[in-house]
Amino acid sequence: GRNRHRDRDREQDREQGSGSARPQPPEPSLLRFLVCPLSKRPLRYEEATNELINEELGIAYPIIDGIPNMVPEAARMTQKKRPAEASEQP
């Protein structure tokens, strides 16, 4: 039964070696426990961008090699600027 295990390893190598490596989603069991470090609220996993989204604050944390980067500095803003800010009179 050891050969089958070796084959599986070889397949994984081929997957990661290819140039079009698909973004690795985080472990589903891990996602259940992850909360935003800023708001302490649950995050939504967005498969299209491979990010964890905080709808409330309008920020997205990147996921690198299946590991969420939950540093607030790494988060990107997902919301467009609020209309109030854009049309501010000098």
pLDDT tens string 39-90: 999 999 999 999 999 999 999 999 998 899 999 999 999 976 555 555 565 6
Which pLDDT band holds residue 2 (cuts at 50, 70, 90)?
low
Domains of the chain plus CATH, in order, are 41-77 (2.20.25.10)
pLDDT of residue 27: 84
Which pLDDT band holds residue 16 (cuts at 50, 70, 90)?
very low
Q: What is the 3-state secondary structure (H, E, C) of the chain?
A: CHHHHHHHHHHHHHHHHCCCCCCCCCCHHHHCCCECCCCCCECEEECCCCEEEECCCCEEEEEECCEECCCHHHCEECCCCCHHHHCCCC
Stated pTM of the model: 0.62
